Amino acid sequence: MTDTLPARTSKSGHVARPPFKASKKLADNLQLLHVDLIDLHLVAKQAHWNLVGRNFRDLHLQLDELVADVREFSDTVAERMRAIFITPDGRAATVAAKSSLPEFPADEVDTAATVDLIVASLYATADTTRSIHDAVDDEDPTTADILHGILMRLEQLAWMIDSENRTANKSTPKSIHE
Direct distance between the N- and C-terminal alpha carbons of the chain, in angstroms, rounded to an integer: 55
Taking only the tens place, the pLDDT of each residue in 119-153 is 999 999 999 999 999 999 999 999 999 999 999 99
Please check whether residue 175 is in contact with residue 159, taking contact to mean a CB–CB distance below 8 angstroms.
no
User: How much is the pLDDT for 1?
Assistant: 47
Alpha helices in the chain (DSSP H): 24-50, 56-83, 92-98, 111-139, 141-162
User: How much is the pLDDT for 174?
Assistant: 85
Distance, CA of 4 to CA of 76 (rounded, Å): 25
- Ranges of the chain with pLDDT below 50: 1-2
**What's the pTM?**
0.89
